[in-house]
Structure 1
């Protein structure tokens, strides 16, 4: 449960505030709340009341999640939560309650925090209560409230359910890692082993990530070796964690070594591998940042990188990615449609995949492979962009297709899709 939140974020390399875009209505509210100081005024409360009463459940909860994550607007989360709790559709949610309690604690509103927790505890059975305490541990840890996380762990251990013991270890290990205390997390793994529980992949990944984020690479590698020694094989996820940690510190030579290790061990590259590596390549980012100038072929890209990059390892990383098979996993091919799906890819990854895609199309057409009726590129319309409706990947595809005089145009029925007849694309490329 908590593992997903911890392990998905670093490779994505996005600020938490930008992971999920809001509608224009939600953006207007946040903009209005940011005026007039950090503390809610009567005007702010009126804006929140009107917003909640006129918005859908999905939009309201999404906006609340943005307030939880925002450093500047978190003080507005409590009045919105209270207003939401008065709606007809509201149903008590353990995750929201845990997030709210931790946020109140962080802002020194201890009585309100305790009241919310007590109200929650009184309505829960043992199983639901154990989940709630796990969520509290996670929420407190994200806000740096170590003692409160430990208090919740102590309460969790009091629940008379056999499954709670292991769940408690997992939650507190995750909590220590979120707090940036991997040594404490390792000590708890030892305690967990003494209690008769074998550490899982989750524990090793969490601790390796926490060490890596702190720049303690020797310790990170030691945990990875320990993971192997325990009989848990290395996989794409742990390799992506290592790559993202090295990338945050610009350790490109190490990244080259681990990318090659992935290939030697036959560990599959993923879209996240592309994102983790390319988000760490400053010259590549600079090139993609000039859409009217970036090369339109892999050969041209490599030549430009060799001239512009201050590190030969950046070029090596790009070459290693190009020789992977990620494109094959994102390209669907049949008599009806040849579709490239760019969902999940950041801008640099989309650019490199598009260059590989063009070469792959030329190869297939020259070999006489079945010609699809349609060729399409799916990039999304910007629903998950930092500004809703403004997709940087879509802008990239549009610029590339325009500069290359491509027959692929925006689909009238789906603005997040470029499409053309298969024969037109074949004539264009060949």
Structure 2
């Protein structure tokens, strides 16, 4: 059957007040291989829910759709590969196996037979990630999974199936996807909650892969579950997945519409849904709508927390809106929201001067006062607010045996600022006569296990350079190569000389 393509089209015109007309468009260019599915999708896409036909005004004026192919991606990175996984995928992409499906399948089978469950699952999870470092090998994910189903340790996992289906949909391997989906449906359909949660996973997996058809078809099934289910839990989870999925696909205005539908259906929206929409607007640079959602959250009784604040800061940072970032940090004092390591990461990664200075560790400033002289006005405001927070105190452990600074979770720019703060703080503590001098001082940088290149830690290199340039007595710990260590009295002499 020839492929049938449905063009992009608006689904409804919403009037948002005098002189304001807003056309909602679902960016769903579909390639369907079944007339029956086309009809189902048409009912979903082009028959508006009740909230739309009632003309609900959620101030969507000025919004725009962004094609999934061109959207700004802020997803997490791929699943880190184990050493065995690196070797396997490197061999799988070698010229010796290129163009030889039989040899490739034998190699995959041999790998699964010789590998423990954790290694096989690690490789599969990496190939299923939208950010895989081996995207050209993702085609073999289904073959790898098929071999894994023959292993004695194999357990059927609906979430894993959802991720495989999403990848197949992205690759337009619809026949294989339909076969795998049919197996999952027959296994779960009689269990409403399990089936609904599987479809929720399917919606979100397809949205993360940017699979428009897979996302739409999963939403069709979820809406059918919502229509016939009497379970508030099932309906809530289904709506949450659609909101999250639409935001992943850069359609926060449609996601906000789903929240309105939830209210009409007497399903109470939660903090998760609002955060998803808030971040969806923020990633697109639609700051007026992002802040409007913040206000709605407050009126609905949802507290602005650290996670929500970091989403706002990350959004500003992605669009180099440093003045707005500074204003938001000031507002956090009114909200009584504590800052976190992620706050440091979001803010400092957005400071161009700091990121530029860190390109040359041999010449970057070695004191906080000197650093401030290099920064522009907006960056100075950001750094001053950060250094007035409790993040440094939370990273320090202090007792008679050990004074430890832990840099885990901090990006390079955050580690740099914290190190400058730490040296100031240590001088202050050591200068106080009543302060206990720990037997040892430790700075934990990590050894690079979670770095882009395993074993090469940018943070460790930064700390080492700072120690060398300041003539610090701290050296890499022989027992733990991810730490720098020295006697407390020696560090006191170094900092207070």
Q: Structure 2 length normalisation: TM-score?
A: 0.78
- What is the alpha-carbon distance in structure 2 between the residues aligned to residue 14 and residue 299 of structure 1? 33
Partner in structure 1 of residue 140 of structure 2: 76
Q: Is structure 2 residue 280 aligned with structure 1 residue 210?
A: yes
Choose between structure 1 and 2 for higher RCO, CA contacts under 8 A separated by at least 6 residues.
Answer: 1
**Contact 2:353 2:374 survives alignment (8 Å):** no
For each residue in 1:366-387, what CA deviation from the matched residue of structure 2 results, as whole angstroms up to 9, or x when unmatched? 1131111221111222111111
Q: Which moved more, 1:283-292 or 1:107-116?
A: 107-116
Q: State whether residues 211 and 220 of structure 1, in contact with CA within 8 Å, keep that contact through their aligned partners in structure 2.
A: yes
**Alpha carbons of 1:304 and 1:265: their partners in 2 closer, same or farther (altered >3 Å)?**
same
Distance 2:258 2:488 in 1: 58
Partner of 2:258: 188
Change (3 A) 1:304 1:129: same
Once the two structures are TM-superposed, the CA of residue 346 in structure 1 deviates from its matched residue by 0.5
Contact 1:338 1:376 in 2 (8 A): yes
1:154 aligns with 2:223: yes
**What displacement does 1:61 show?**
1.6
What SS does the corresponding residue of 1:123 show, helix, strand or coil?
Answer: helix
Q: Structure 1's 72 and 217: CA in aligned 2 closer, same or farther, altered over 3 A?
A: farther
Residue 104 of structure 1 pairs with residue 168 of structure 2: yes
Aligned to 2:154: 90
Taking structure 1 as reference, are residues 365 and 138 closer, same or farther at Cα in structure 2, changes over 3 Å only?
Answer: same
Q: Paired residue for 1:298?
A: 368
Q: 1:122 to 1:390 in 2, by over 3 A?
A: same
Matched residues in 1 for 2:281 and 2:165: separation? Answer: 28
Aligned with 2:385 (options 320, 324, 329): 320
RMSD: 2.1
CA shift for structure 1 position 118 = 2.2
Higher Rg of the two aligned structures: 2
Of 91-100 and 21-30, more deviation after overlay is shown by 21-30
Aligned counterparts of 2:328 and 2:98: Cα–Cα separation in 1: 45
Deviates more, 1:37-46 or 1:356-365: 37-46
Q: In the aligned structure 1, how far is the partner of 2:415 from the partner of 2:241?
A: 36
Number of residue pairs aligned between Structure 1 and Structure 2: 412
1:33 to 1:160, Cα distance in 2 relative to 1, 3 A: farther
Structure 2: which 5+ runs fail to align?
1-72
Question: Shift of residue 253 of structure 1?
Answer: 0.8
Matched, 1:418 2:479: no
Change in CA separation of 1:108 and 1:165 when aligned onto 2, cut-off 3 Å:
same
Partner of 1:26: 85
Change (3 A) 1:63 1:303: same
1:333 to 2:398 alignment: yes
In structure 2, which of residues 209, 213, 223 is the aligned counterpart of residue 143 of structure 1? 209
Q: Which residue of 1 aligns with 2:13?
A: none
Correspondence list, 1:340-419, <5 A? 340-368=405-433, 369-419=435-485
SS at the partner of 1:332?
A: strand
Distance 1:425 1:43, change over 3 A: farther
Contact 1:330/1:341, CA 8 A, preserved across alignment: yes
**Greater alpha carbon shift after TM alignment, 141-150 vs 373-382:** 141-150
Report if aligned partners of 1:136, 1:152 keep a CA contact under 8 Å in 2.
no
- Range with greater deviation from structure 2 (293-302 or 241-250): 293-302
Q: Which region of structure 1 is more displaced relative to structure 2, 120-129 or 91-100?
A: 120-129
User: Cα 1:159–1:39, aligned 2, differ >3 Å: closer, same or farther?
Assistant: farther
Equivalences for residues 47-58 of structure 1 within 5 A: 47-58=107-118
1:330-371 Cα distance to aligned partner (Å, 9 max, x none): 111111211111111111101111111111111111113111
Q: Give the Cα separation in 2 of the matches to 1:189 and 1:364.
A: 51
Unpaired runs of 5+ residues, structure 1, are 1-12, 306-310
2:187 is the alignment partner of 1:123: yes
- The answer (yes or no) to whether the contact 1:133–1:155 under 8 Å persists in 2 is no
Please give the alpha-carbon distance, in whole angstroms, between the structure 2 residues aligned to 1:254 and 1:197. Answer: 34
**Aligned 8 A contact 1:380 1:391 in 2:** yes
Does structure 2 conserve the Cα–Cα contact (< 8 Å) formed by 1:271 and 1:326? yes
Cα offset, 1:102, TM superposition: 1.2
Of residues 340, 343, 350, the one that matches 1:273 is 343
For the residues of structure 2 that align with 1:208 and 1:304, how far apart are their CA atoms?
Answer: 33
Q: Where is the helix percentage greater, Structure 1 or Structure 2?
A: 1
Match status 1:229 vs 2:321: no
> Retained in 2: the 8 A contact 1:38–1:75?
no
More moved, 33-42 vs 128-137: 33-42
Alignment check: 8 A CA contact 1:407 1:420 kept: yes
